[in-house]
């Protein structure tokens, strides 16, 4: 049984070692494709793989066509918008994610970005503090819940809205449940995005919504670039010199956002989940899920049912 790790953005070596142990303990063989630069390399590598562990790597119909022996793809992480689920189902391939395994890392980076933003990107001028500010969390999944936990440590007031999570669940975490996303943008000093990229959410963070923010509003995006309506956000930031946008997902319009010096920052690569701990947690969970799938037929965490 050949298990391939295909990661354009590699796991920490210690995580690869952990994955290898799990795979070899089960009597399977591990293959590694890291830092590949062309799709062709991925297509070649999947040819004889029975399982693939990926991160934000794109698995589409062309890759699936080439993967004749493939039975399962595990996205070591949360978002699986990089996998063509319909094509995977057609090819008889099970797709899973590893929910929650990298969420603390993403939540910590939210605050790394926020402290950087409120301290004027460390330019030496007096900034502001997070304590006492109101943070709005858009989507209360694993990352959103961790963000709420850390925000309380900073002494922030916390509100959240999630179209799929009942208000009682949010209130049980001692977080104010906003009645809709408009309320979050209207009432919070900072809004942190944790929605997945779906047909409903793509382009949903637009001028009308962000334009509701109070003076000095900050949007922090560690979700997906696709959820932002980039032309509209640029238009708004041109009209409102007080709005800041910080993200770990380089926008398509990065060059245009760059004009907003002191109000815009993006990490060069998606960095939220890029810690040794998150790599170990998500990578080993992926390996264990693959072993359980082949040995016990376990399909827990399957997302293409
Ligand atoms: C996720 O969906 O798990 C995060 O966005 C992390 O993505 P990455 O594994 O590509 O860093």
Mutation to probe ligand 1, out of 76, 77, 105 (largest number of atoms < 8 A from CB): 77
For ligand 1, what atom is nearest to the CA of residue 274?
A: 11
Percent of the chain at pLDDT exceeding 70: 100
Q: Is 98 in the pocket of ligand 1 (CB under 6 A)?
A: no
Q: 99: CA distance to ligand 1 center in Å?
A: 11
For ligand 1, what atom is nearest to the CA of residue 270?
A: 11
Q: Report the chain's mean pLDDT, rounded to a whole number.
A: 98
- Section 90-115 average pLDDT: 98
Give Cβ neighbours of residue 292 (< 8 Å, ≥ 6 apart).
Answer: 298, 300
305 has a pLDDT exceeding 90: no
Q: Is 77 in the pocket of ligand 1 (CB under 6 A)?
A: yes
Going across the sheet that includes 2-7, the strands are: 29-34, 2-7, 51-54, 72-75, 94-97
Q: Would you state the pLDDT for residue 185?
A: 98
Q: Would you state the pLDDT for residue 56?
A: 97
Q: Is 272 in the pocket of ligand 1 (CB under 6 A)?
A: yes
Q: Where are the domains of the chain?
A: 2-101+274-296, 103-266
**CB 177 within 8 Å of CB 160:** yes
pLDDT tens for each residue of 175-226: 999 999 999 999 999 999 999 999 999 999 999 999 999 999 999 999 999 9
Q: Is 249 in the pocket of ligand 1 (CB under 6 A)?
A: no
Q: 241: CA distance to ligand 1 center in Å?
A: 31
- DSSP output for 8-37: SSPPPHHHHHHHHHHHHHTT-EEEEEES--
**CB 68 within 8 Å of CB 22:** no
For ligand 1, what atom is nearest to the CA of residue 77?
A: 3
- Section 164-174 average pLDDT: 98
- Section 124-148 average pLDDT: 98
How far CA 275 is from CA of 39, 95, 156, 256, in Å, comes to 25, 24, 25, 29
CATH class entry, domain 103-266: alpha beta
Q: Is 224 in the pocket of ligand 1 (CB under 6 A)?
A: no
Q: Would you state the pLDDT for residue 267?
A: 98
What is the Cα–Cα distance from 107 to 148, expressed in whole angstroms? 9
- DSSP output for the chain: -EEEEEESSPPPHHHHHHHHHHHHHTT-EEEEEES--SHHHHHHHTTT-SEEEESS--B-HHHHHH-TT--EEEESSS--TTB-HHHHHHTT-EEEE-TTTTHHHHHHHHHHHHHHHHTGGGSSS----STT-EEEEE--SHHHHHHHHHHHHTT-EEEEE-TTS-HHHHHHTT-EE-SSHHHHHHH-SEEEE-----TTTTT-B-HHHHTTSPTT-EEEE-S-GGGB-HHHHHHHHHH-TT-EEEESS--TTHHHHTTSTTTEEE-SS--TT-SHHHHHHHHHHHHHHHHHHHHH---TTB---
Q: 224: CA distance to ligand 1 center in Å?
A: 9
Q: Is 78 in the pocket of ligand 1 (CB under 6 A)?
A: yes
Q: Would you state the pLDDT for residue 212?
A: 98
Evaluate whether 2-101+274-296 and 103-266 have a shared fold. yes
What is the Cα–Cα distance from 49 to 55, expressed in whole angstroms? 16
Minimum CA distance residue for ligand 1 atom 10: 56
pLDDT tens for each residue of 214-272: 999 999 999 999 999 999 999 999 999 999 999 999 999 999 999 999 999 999 999 99
Q: 85: CA distance to ligand 1 center in Å?
A: 17
Mutation to probe ligand 1, out of 221, 272, 279 (largest number of atoms < 8 A from CB): 272
Minimum CA distance residue for ligand 1 atom 9: 55
CATH class entry, domain 2-101+274-296: alpha beta
Q: 214: CA distance to ligand 1 center in Å?
A: 30
Q: 272: CA distance to ligand 1 center in Å?
A: 7
């Amino acid at each position: 049984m050949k298990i391939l790790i295909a990661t354009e953005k590699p796991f920490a070596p210690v995580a690869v070692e952990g994955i290898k142990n799990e795979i070899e303990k089960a009597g399977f063989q591990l293959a590694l494709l890291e830092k590949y630069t062309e799709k062709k390399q991925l297509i070649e590598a999947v040819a004889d793989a029975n399982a693939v562990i990926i991160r934000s790597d794109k698995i589409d119909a062309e890759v699936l066509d080439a993967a004749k022996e493939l039975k399962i793809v595990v996205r070591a992480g949360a978002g699986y918008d990089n996998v063509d689920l319909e094509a995977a189902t057609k090819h008889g391939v099970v797709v899973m994610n590893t929910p929650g395994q990298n969420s603390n890392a993403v939540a910590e980076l939210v605050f790394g970005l926020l402290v950087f933003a409120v301290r004027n990107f460390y330019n030496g001028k007096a900034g502001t503090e997070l304590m006492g500010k109101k943070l709005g969390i858009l989507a209360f999944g694993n990352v959103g819940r961790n963000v709420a936990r850390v925000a309380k440590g900073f002494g922030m007031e916390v509100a959240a809205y999630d179209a799929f999570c009942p208000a009682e669940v949010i209130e049980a975490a001692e977080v104010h449940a906003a009645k809709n996303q408009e309320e979050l943008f209207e009432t919070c000093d900072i809004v942190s995005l944790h929605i997945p990229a779906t047909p409903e959410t793509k382009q949903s963070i637009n001028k009308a919504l962000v334009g509701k923010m109070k003076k000095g509003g900050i949007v922090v995006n560690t979700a997906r670039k696709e959820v932002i309506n980039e032309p509209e956000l640029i238009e708004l930031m041109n009209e409102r010199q007080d709005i800041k946008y910080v993200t770990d997902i380089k926008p398509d319009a990065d060059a245009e956002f760059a004009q907003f010096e002191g109000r815009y920052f993006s990490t060069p690569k998606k960095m939220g989940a890029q810690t040794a701990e998150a790599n170990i947690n998500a990578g080993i969970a992926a390996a264990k899920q693959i072993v359980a799938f082949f040995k016990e037929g376990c399909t827990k965490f399957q997302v293409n049912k």
